Amino acid sequence: MKNVDGAGMEKVLLEFPAQCRRALEIASGQHIAGEFNRVLVCGMGGSGIGGDVLKAVPGSRVPVQVVKGYEIPASVDRGTLVMAVSYSGNTEETLSAIRQAGSRGARVVAITSGGELPAMADKIISVPGGFQPRNALGYLFFTLARFLCNSGLADIKDIDFDETVSLLGETGSFNKAGRELAEFMQGRTPVIYTSDSMSAAGYRLKCQINENAKHPAFHHTFPEMCHNELVAFAGMERDSFAVLMLRDEGDHERVRKRMDICKGIFEKSVDVREVWSRGTSFLARIFSLIYLGDWASYHLALLKVVDPTPVEPIERLKKLLL
């Protein structure tokens, strides 16, 4: 299950575009029939990020809600389609959530590589095993998105699969830009900012820095941070923190203006690096930031001389929870 050196993680990153393409093939032709008034994505950590991306796709006619925990909202009923995403198929929070969903009459579709989950679902989308869950994002998200598009529950307009996978294929340039970002972050705590709509890319990067580089990192969004966290920069030191702004031309005009002005305020206290998304469709743009961040967190691990793959505290916690 684990790779033991940087080469293992590098291989996974290089093969990520192929993983996304394979996921689209797996979900091709799969769908669910029925009248649903909302989609609930249940998934933790790397398995939950896909739900965050989906929720942010503009123009979705069916509301998407993401549950990262044991319990589902009281309002879940027969009209809710539950997408249970658990790479291992044994994530106890997700199993608990779909048990509740089943008892409310909701239909459950599982995306998983195995475990206990398939026996509890009405429909199963199987993805290949053998990865760390966070390294299976391609399998987990692209099956989810294509399945919902096939089922008429996600709007294909802003989800250009071909553009996205083709853009991610430029691995060399993402690798290089990721290394530069890692050098910028090294030795300091990164504070990552995105717009609300690019939030999943910021949260993904924060988590990847935590897990790959075993390093603290935090994330907040615009415009909300303008109402609170902005004031904290008066108490932040250049040696301790560094700001990374993940920017997108598709962000609301006033959000872009806020980010421009705040960059100047941040720079009085800490160093700031901006990176811009690439691509045309929403999906390509957000995945260009996700893939860049994945490379950056990998390179930060190498700079810190830590093995990017194992996440020992998570494994220890799981054993202690038994």
Candidates 27, 42, 53, 60: give the one binding its own copies (CB under 8 A).
60
Are 290 and 200 spatial neighbours (Cβ–Cβ below 8 Å)? yes
Quote the radius of gyration of the chain (alpha carbons, Å). 19
Least Cα distance to 263 among 279, 240, 247 occurs for: 247
Candidates 73, 105, 128, 130: give the one binding its own copies (CB under 8 A).
73
Q: How far is the CB of 236 from its own copies (least distance, A)?
A: 5
Counting beta carbons within 10 angstroms of the beta carbon of residue 181, is it exposed (0 to 12), middle (13 to 18) or buried (19 or more)? buried
- On the CB side of 277, CA atoms within 13 Å amount to 26
- Is residue 71 near its own copies by the rule CB under 8 A? yes
Q: How far is the CB of 180 from its own copies (least distance, A)?
A: 21
Q: How far is the CB of 83 from its own copies (least distance, A)?
A: 17
Q: How many residues does the chain have?
A: 322
Q: How far is the CB of 217 from its own copies (least distance, A)?
A: 7
Cα–Cα distance between 211 and 137 in angstroms, integer?
Answer: 14
Residues noted as catalytic? 211, 227, 318
- Residues of span 142-161 touching its own copies by CB under 8 A: none
- Residues of span 176-205 touching its own copies by CB under 8 A: 189, 191, 196
Residue whose tokens read 């615009």: 222
Q: Which CA distances in Å does 113 have to 141, 143, 279?
A: 13, 12, 30
- Residues of span 226-245 touching its own copies by CB under 8 A: 226-236, 240-241
- Residues of span 268-307 touching its own copies by CB under 8 A: 304, 306
Q: How far is the CB of 167 from its own copies (least distance, A)?
A: 25
Candidates 33, 74, 119, 305: give the one binding its own copies (CB under 8 A).
74
Least Cα distance to 43 among 127, 103, 104 occurs for: 127
Are 122 and 80 spatial neighbours (Cβ–Cβ below 8 Å)? no
Are 110 and 123 spatial neighbours (Cβ–Cβ below 8 Å)? yes
Cis peptide leading into residue 223 (ω within 30°): yes
Q: How far is the CB of 68 from its own copies (least distance, A)?
A: 4
Q: How far is the CB of 105 from its own copies (least distance, A)?
A: 16
What track of x and - describes contact with its own copies for positions 206 through 225 (by CB under 8 A)? Answer: xx-xxx-xxxxxx--x-xx-
In this complex, which beta carbon is closest to its own copies, that of residue 22 or of residue 307? 307
- Give the number of residues in contact with its own copies, rule: CB under 8 A: 70
The DSSP result for 189-255, as a single string, is EEEEEEESTTHHHHHHHHHHHHHHH----EEEEETGGGGTGGGGGGG--TTTEEEEEEE-TTS-HHH
In this complex, which beta carbon is closest to its own copies, that of residue 165 or of residue 221? 221
Instruction: Please choose, out of 17-25, 63-71, 107-115, 276-284, the segment that lies near its own copies by the rule CB under 8 A.
Output: 63-71
Cα–Cα distance between 149 and 170 in angstroms, integer?
Answer: 26
Instruction: Please choose, out of 73-81, 146-154, 161-169, 279-287, the segment that lies near its own copies by the rule CB under 8 A.
Output: 73-81
Instruction: Please choose, out of 40-48, 102-110, 115-123, 162-170, the segment that lies near its own copies by the rule CB under 8 A.
Output: 40-48
Question: Site residues (CB under 8 A) for its own copies?
Answer: 38, 44-46, 48, 58-63, 68-71, 73-75, 92-93, 96, 134, 189, 191, 196, 206-207, 209-211, 213-218, 221, 223-224, 226-236, 240-241, 252, 254-255, 257-258, 261-262, 265, 304, 306, 311-314, 316-317, 320-321
